[in-house]
Amino acid sequence: MTRPTALGAGCALAWLLTLIASFSSGNNLLYLLHSGFAALYAVGWVWGRRNARGVALSGIDAPGAVRGRPASLRLRLANRSARACYELRVTGCDASLASLAGGAETEVSARLSLAHRGLNRLQNVAVESSFPFGLWLHRSPGPGPVLLALPPASPGAAERGEGDGSPEGRSAAAAAGEEFHGVRGYESSDDPRRINWKLTARTGAVFVNDYRAQGGGRRTVRLETASERAIEAAAGACRAGVESGAEVRLVAPGREVPYGRGPGHLQRLLQALALLGPGAEPRVSGGRPQPAPLAVDDRALRWATRLGGIWVYGSLILVEEMSPALLGALSPLLLLGLALERRGGPWLTRFLSDALSVVVLAFIVGFDWQASGVTVATTHLVAYLLLNRALSPLDGKFGLAFLTHFLGFFLSSGQTISLAYFVLFLGYCAYACVWLTLFAGARWDTRGRWLAGLARACAAAAGAGVAVFALTPRVDPRGQLNPIAAIGLDKLKSQDGPSTIGFTESVSLGYYGPLKRSTAKAMRVRPLSPGLGIPSPILVRGNAYDIFDGRQWSRQASTFNYRWDRHLYRALGGRAWSVRRGGQQRLVPAAPREKAFDM
């Protein structure tokens, strides 16, 4: 059985958002982020199925397990594959295993109750795992382990004379080898069947016959039928006989146990009684398997979340509209958050946090959305949330923090084409993989047993991500799509001045690829200054389509004509020229090392 976890379902929504934004904006970095999501789900499915389904679970024994009473059960986990399996859990109990080498076996114990006398198939016990990445929950197939439960065998059952057979064919009291010891007054706990009616009628007082166990000798417990009451009475008789030191034999329908004494012989007698009648066939015990309880490594997950927030905050520097000076001035707050995490506080109070949030939200909605545009204003809001979370206690809100980190990196991906993005992208992927694994229940102190497996899964996901990126069809975005979903700089307003429309079909962005015709995004290109100060930015409407062959980014040397300020210009070899005072300026570099514009 395989199903998505709650975390996997939440990440699927984030993946869907990324995919829609990729198609609507044409941004290749969003396509890259989408490819990473797809690779995690694909590798998590394939790797996880092999990880959980390669382990077989069987029952060893349940020493002393009695029907309906909790008992300690011994289970065996055997890795049938040649590769190691990681982060295994056993449903129905608290047993877990960080890793199991290929072909190895191990034992775990569980305290459970067996519902039936005889053979019980534990339906609620199975091996499951959400490794790697915690997006899918995989459970081993096949029937559950089979264990034996003994019938209740208390001496009180024999004393009450319950049962269908005995050496004389009369009572289980005689079957237990008890002899008449005398009479005594009746007590409320006595069995009414032991009342001495003759003496009671003669004296007017109630008397009962008192029996005592015989010492030594041989006794035979004979069972004529396999009813539950008779089996329980015979079990009590066997226990009473063995505890008195006698040799006890069992004669039952289709089964006989010869004379013997001692605890080992008592176990054989009870096992024979357990397997009578329907007890010989496994019967389902327990309900549907419930997911094993997760106990996350709270300390490791807190530190991973804090460090991930710093990494995502650093990625915002790639967004041109985010002031590097302001980001740098506020960055010490992140280091303060690490110090507070180490000391355990004091954190930002709830009242102060709420007050700051109200002020920032009012500024974003009332002013920043109009001044900066929806996308940039949202980026400002996420930057505040990252700082707010850094100074606030997590209090178990790991999922909310991870969602904030995703939104921050999502916005960075949609607003940059810097090559530095790829370093940040790889770092974010590494953080996400470790965070997801810790959130799924892995413990940092056992990282030596699962970290190598996670590294191999990440390598497989990287290869799958490259393949998905190369194979994903590029869809020309349409202007009627929601501009907020089109995560590019959709709200930038063009400055007053001349503009050119209709030439973007073959405009080249050098090694970043060509521009495609679209009104969904405005790309701001700032040419180099020829010594006359910083020039005004030139706004180019369209979307950037990068060319990626699985190994490197490539440039397209386009040749085209375009008009600017009533003049016709020609671009050659991927170089587009614009006219400004002081001469001509290149908009696009001819090679990656030439800095001709910033975004």
Tell whether the model's pLDDT for residue 519 goes beyond 60. no
**Of the candidates 330, 410, 360, 400, the residue with the CA atom closest to the CA atom of residue 14:** 410
What pLDDT was estimated at residue 96? Answer: 83
**235 near 205, Cβ under 8 Å?**
no
What pLDDT was estimated at residue 563? Answer: 56
What pLDDT was estimated at residue 162? Answer: 36
- Domains of the chain, by residue range, sit at 155-277, 295-439, 510-586
At 462-472, the pLDDT tens digits run 999 999 998 88
Q: Determine the distance from the C-alpha atom of residue 28 to the mean position of all C-alpha atoms in its chain, rounded to a whole number.
A: 29
At 246-284, the pLDDT tens digits run 889 999 888 899 999 888 898 899 999 999 989 888 888
Tell whether the model's pLDDT for residue 391 goes beyond 50. yes
Tell whether the model's pLDDT for residue 135 goes beyond 70. yes
Mean pLDDT for the stretch of residues 74-89: 89
Find the radius of gyration of the CA atoms of the chain: 38
At 167-215, the pLDDT tens digits run 333 344 444 445 565 677 787 777 888 888 888 887 778 888 876 555 5
For residue 247, give every residue at least 6 positions away whose Cβ sits within 8 Å of its Cβ, in sequence order, or none: 217, 218, 219, 259, 260, 261
At 504, the pLDDT band (50, 70, 90 cuts) reads: very low
* pTM value surpassing 0.75: no
What pLDDT was estimated at residue 345? Answer: 82
Residue with tokens 């015979």: 234
User: Is 182 strand, coil or helix?
Assistant: strand
Comparison of pLDDT for 96 and 79, the residue scoring more: 79
**Of the candidates 394, 252, 270, the residue with the CA atom closest to the CA atom of residue 337:** 394
Residue with tokens 């959980």: 52
User: Is 394 strand, coil or helix?
Assistant: coil
What pLDDT was estimated at residue 560? Answer: 54
Rounded CA gap, 589 and 599, in Å? 13
SS (HEC) of 307-336: HHHHHHHHHHHHCCCCCHHHHHHHCHHHHH
What pLDDT was estimated at residue 52? Answer: 84
User: Is 58 strand, coil or helix?
Assistant: strand
Mean pLDDT for the stretch of residues 105-128: 86
Q: Which two tokens stand for residue 161?
A: 């004379």
Mean pLDDT for the stretch of residues 390-418: 89
**537 near 524, Cβ under 8 Å?**
yes
Q: What is the mean pLDDT of the chain?
A: 76
Which pairs from 533-540 meet CB under 8 Å and 24+ separation? Answer: 535/580, 535/585, 536/495, 537/495, 538/578, 538/587, 539/492, 539/494, 539/495, 539/499, 540/504, 540/507, 540/515, 540/587
